[in-house]
Structure formats: C-alpha cells, structure tokens
Homo-oligomer: A and B are copies of this chain.
Amino acid sequence: MTASSSPPTAVTEQARTLIEPELRTAVAGLDPHLGRAIGYHLGWCRPDGTPTRGGGGKAIRPALTLLAATSVGATADTALPGAAAVELVHNFTLIHDDMMDGDELRRRRPTVWKTFGAATAILAGDALQTLAFTTLARHDSPHAPRATRVLARSMTELVSGQTQDLAFVRRPWQGPGAVTIPEYRSMAAGKSGSLLGCAAELGAVLGGAPHRTAAAFGRAGRHFGLAFQCVDDIIGIWGDPKETGKPVLADIREGKKTLPVLAALAAPVPAAAELADLLTTPRADEAELRRAAALIEKAGGRRFAERESQHHLERGLACLAEADTGGTARDPLLALIDYLGRRTS
C-alpha cells in the first residue's frame, strides 16, 4: 500500500521546492522570534533556530494550484504566488486550530503553542494570514486583484467552518441539539472545501483562465476538499499514530463530531444505540475508546465516510471534465486526486 499512502512524490515535492523560496522571503520580513516559531512549524529549524531538514507538510494544496495553472495552459511559475499563499493560509489555520483544539502534536513534534506559548502561536498564525495576502499582492500579475478576491472569500468560509466545528464539540451526541449530517457537510465545506477550492481556482485564475473555467476548477477543488475531510475523519479514528504523528483515536478522545461517528449514530442498527451510550460515558478509558471505534465501524460509519469521499472525488472529476481545458497536466493532477482519496496520513 506504499504507493497509495504516500503523496505522488514528484508533484508534491516539486511544489514544495518551488514555493519554498517564496515562503522564506515572506517569513524573513517578520520579527525574528516569530520567524523562528513559523520556521519551526514549517520544519525548517528547531525551536532555538538551528536549521533542520524535512518535517514540513505534504504540500498538497500548492501542488493543486500549480497543476491547475498548467492544466489551463500556463506555466507553473505563473501560479507560484497563489501556491505559496494557500500553503501560508493552511499553516495559519493549523497553528491556530492546534491551539484551539489543545492538540499537542503535529507532524510528530510538539505544536507551536506547546513549544512557544499561546501568545506566539496566535501571532504566528496572524502573521501567516497576513503573509498570504502579502505574497499574492506583491506580484504584479494582472490577475492579482481577482486572485485576492478568491483568497479573501475562501478565508471567510474557512474561519466560519472552523467556528462551526468548534461549536460541534459542545453539542450533544443525541437528542435535541445534536449535530446533523447536513450541518457536518456545511462545516466541512467551509473548513476543508474552501481552501482546496481556493487552491485550484487560484491556479486557474493566475494562469489566465476565463471566469467559467476558473469557477469549474474552484468547484472541483471544493469537492476534493470534502473528500479530503472524509478521509481525514477516517484517519482521525483508525489512523496509525506512526503514520499520522498524532495520538491514537484522537478524534474520539476529543469528542469530535466527525462523519463516521454521525453516520454510525444515525444508522438503524443496535450498534448505534450501544455507541451512543459509550460516547456519553464521562472519562472513557482507552479500551472504551477502542470499543467505540469498533462500534462506529460495525454501524457502517466508516463505510459511509468512504462512500462520501468517493462521491466527492467523482463530482470533482466531473467538474474538471466540464472545464475541458485540454492542458498538459492531466496525469499528475489525476494522481494527486487519487492520492487525496487513499492517503493514510
């Protein structure tokens, strides 16, 4: 399963290599302490600033931006500011989300708030959001104003999606006030759909595609983002900590209302009722968390999320077919999309 669990290396590695100078230029303009915290998060250095190698993210979003640009017949270079901007935004949300969720590990290392404290984590996220807009605005592409609008709109949705997600944690598992699957979908559209939609649309916009084509790329990216979130939910319960770099059963432990759990609770099977009892047990131990994961699977929650992911991948591909660009990036784009549905970390 190595082939399906690693991102299509050539494409994401190329994206990471291409955007790194943009990211380093952006971060270099910040206060050194803030630059160190961000460099640590991005895998460039230790907390004390000593350079390190590796440990950054998978560069899926920038890869999508660059492939969208080449799909519409432009060079990857044209879309570099967009690719860097989505990566900066992605990392902004990771740093703030880790803090809000109280997550202590990210990419197998202590998170920024855990390492540098809450104030630095807040400021590092704030700075990354600013740098995303700075990076787009610095380049004088004639398409920069349109690109800025696309980025701004998607960030509004992103923040609203994260707000809904946090509100879900406080809501009950069952009865009045319980989170519904349509509510989950709306949250996921904001939290994950918007940024992958933005990544794809920015590539097309900066590549000079007409509005209709760029919008189709945006819709495709949103579906890929929703598929991505379904897979994330599956990994959040059944992922291997050695691969994910996060604690086992993390999402159940944190009481996250993810799709597999919501689908399992809604299923008309005895396992659903048993699961509901277990989830409302205060301070469940490790064995109970494992039992909950088994019940979610038994009640069909995992299969439901897998199907939903597959559905969004197909819808996304249909949007791309509709855009009908005849560009040169078809194969690597399909490989990236295939990976989104199959990844295990």
Q: Which residues of A contact B (CB under 8 A)?
A: 29-31, 33-34, 92, 96, 99-100, 118-120, 122-123, 125-127, 129-131, 133-134, 137-138, 140, 144-145, 148-149, 151-153, 155-156, 159-164, 166-167, 190
Contact = CB atoms under 8 A, between A and B. Distances in A.
Contact of A122 (B34, B99, B120, B140): B99
Chain A interface, DSSP helix/strand/loop, else mixed: helix
Copies in the complex: 2
B159 A30 contact: yes
A122 B134 contact: no
Nearest to A125: B126
A143 to B, nearest CB: 11
Contact of A156 (B99, B125, B130, B160): B130
27 contacts: A30-B156, A30-B159, A30-B160, A31-B160, A31-B190, A34-B159, A34-B160, A96-B126, A100-B119, A120-B166, A122-B125, A123-B163, A123-B166, A125-B126, A126-B129, A126-B159, A127-B159, A131-B156, A133-B148, A133-B152, A134-B149, A134-B152, A137-B145, A138-B152, A140-B145, A144-B145, A148-B148
A162 B29 contact: no
A39 to B, nearest CB: 14
A159 B38 CA distance: 13
A92 B29 CA distance: 21
A4 to B, nearest CB: 34
